[in-house]
Structure 1
Amino acid sequence: MNRSRLLRANPRSFVALLLLVSLTLLAACGSRENGEAGDEGKIKVTTTIGMIADVAKQVGGERVDVTGLMKSGVDPHLYKASEGDIGKLERADVILYNGLHLEGKMVDIFEKMAQKKTTVAVSDDIDRAALRSGAAMATEYDPHIWFNVKHWMTVTETIRDTLAEHDPGHADAYRANADAYLRQLRELDAEVAERIRTLPERSRVLVTAHDAFGYFGDAYGMRVMGLQGISTASEAGAKDVADLRDFLIAHDIKAVFIESSVPRRAIDAVIQGAKEKGHELKIGGELYSDAMGEEGTPEGTYIGMVRHNAETIVNALK
Structure 2
Amino acid sequence: MASSAGQSASGSAASHAAAANKPQWRKHWSRDKYLYLLLAPVALYFIVFKYAPLLGEVMAFKNYRLADGIWGSPWVGFDQFRKLFTSRDFISILRNTLLLNVYGLVFAFPVPILLALMLNELHSERYKRILQNLLYIPHFMSWIVLGSIVIALLSPSTGIVNAILKLLGLEPIYFMASTFWWPVAFVGSSVWREAGFGTIMYLAAMASINPQLYEAAAIDGASKLRQIWHVTLPGIRSTVAILLVLHMGKMMDVGFEQVYALQNSAVGSVSEVISTYVYTRGIVGLQYSYTTALGLFQSVVSLALVVAVNRLIRAMGERGLW
TM-score with structure 1 length normalisation?
Answer: 0.25
Relative to its length, the structure with more helix (as a share) is 2
Give the structure, 1 or 2, with the largest relative contact order (CA under 8 Å, sep 6 or more): 2
TM-score with structure 2 length normalisation?
Answer: 0.24
Relative to its length, the structure with more strand (as a share) is 1
Higher Cα radius of gyration: 2
